[in-house]
A and B are shown apart, each in its own frame.
Chain A
């Protein structure tokens, strides 16, 4: 006899040994807090949306940076309009996808929806990361070529070295953000990734790339 069939024969017998929860027990249970990964993905994603803004907010308070910004004139206005339009589009997409995550769907669809939501946040992260060298570069450019700065540095300083440091600092910032992001989702989504790949692995299913 097939081993699984042997197990099947026995499977129903265990019902008598299963715990029995009362109506009151269950009522209490359903009002407790969920520890679902979706909840955590949602919380972390919202933080990810907010965090870069907090950084900009703090930077804005530093007089020098504000001055630097303001001196940029039209560039400052345009980049803000573009930036916030893109952020709003991201927030809308993220919220729409998050709403589509429901335990009612089958595991395949559920996992796909979680991954889709993650992808939106991933694209947002890439967008934020690319803003660091872009905005940072312009600000540094303004700062480095400001009179104040040029007066302070010793004469004959090689500007290439200054720019080298700037590039390094910006790269470091991008790396820190990137590692932070990998670390959080690595632990949160590894099981999901593995399960999704396994469910879809039969030659005909799309395999999960990087999320």
Chain B
């Protein structure tokens, strides 16, 4: 039974691992920290799995646990030396359809998002993942109105970071 449960879980996580990787990219600045957070989220998901009864989609449930781990449960491991300009490497735009200005702008945007607080990052993450305000509110445990207000504030904060 446990073996079967584990098999199902790992299969599901393998399929949806992108969600976890994306959370790790937003919340960490080095490959080591990324791996640490990925591990902690995986452990938390596995622990919570027996209680996951399929009332939500597996992926929806993953968003919640991953965000919980990133903003609440995860204790950052000892401060590591940050990889130089890691963001730029991480989010290197590979597509050729962008012109330089847009590429530059995106780099700055990613950097700006990295400077946001844990909560703001979570909101931005859900927004980028195409979640509507009802879903964002449900995932975070706040009201829809609150989610909208906060999202507008985040947009304001980003503008401020980009145009100081």
A positions within 8 Å CB-CB of B? 2-4, 6-8, 10-11, 13-23, 26-27, 29-30, 32-38, 40, 102-111, 114, 188, 191-192, 194-195, 198-200, 202, 204-205
| Contacting residues, chain A, for B48 (C-beta < 8 A) | 102-104
| Contacting residues, chain A, for B18 (C-beta < 8 A) | 15, 18
A-B contact count (CB 8 A): 166
Q: How far is the CB of A5 from chain B (nearest CB, A)?
A: 9
Residue in chain B with minimal CB distance to A33: B43
User: Do most interface residues of chain A lie in helix, strand or loop, or is the interface mixed?
Assistant: helix
Which listed residue (A16, A106, A188, A192) contacts B140, Cβ 8 A?
A106
Q: List 19 A-B contacts (CB under 8 A).
A: A7-B113, A10-B106, A13-B93, A14-B91, A18-B17, A20-B17, A21-B14, A21-B17, A30-B42, A35-B40, A40-B75, A103-B68, A104-B51, A104-B52, A106-B64, A106-B141, A107-B141, A108-B141, A108-B142
Number of B residues near A (Cβ < 8 Å) is: 71
B65 close to chain A: CB less than 8 A? yes
Contacts A7-B106, A30-B42 given; does A23 touch B14 at CB 8 Å: yes
Question: For window 39-53 of chain B, which residues contact chain A by CB distance below 8 Å?
Answer: 39-40, 42-48, 51-52
User: Do most interface residues of chain B lie in helix, strand or loop, or is the interface mixed?
Assistant: helix
Docked complex Cα distance between A195 and B141 (Å): 13
| Contacting residues, chain A, for B9 (C-beta < 8 A) | 30
Residue in chain B with minimal CB distance to A15: B18
**Across the interface, do A3 and B42 meet the contact criterion of CB distance under 8 Å?**
no
**Across the interface, do B117 and A104 meet the contact criterion of CB distance under 8 Å?**
no
**Across the interface, do B142 and A3 meet the contact criterion of CB distance under 8 Å?**
no
| Contacting residues, chain B, for A7 (C-beta < 8 A) | 106, 109-110, 113, 128
Known: A3-B162, A16-B94. 13 other contacts (CB 8 A): A3-B159, A4-B124, A4-B128, A7-B110, A18-B25, A20-B17, A21-B14, A26-B17, A29-B38, A29-B43, A36-B74, A103-B48, A103-B64
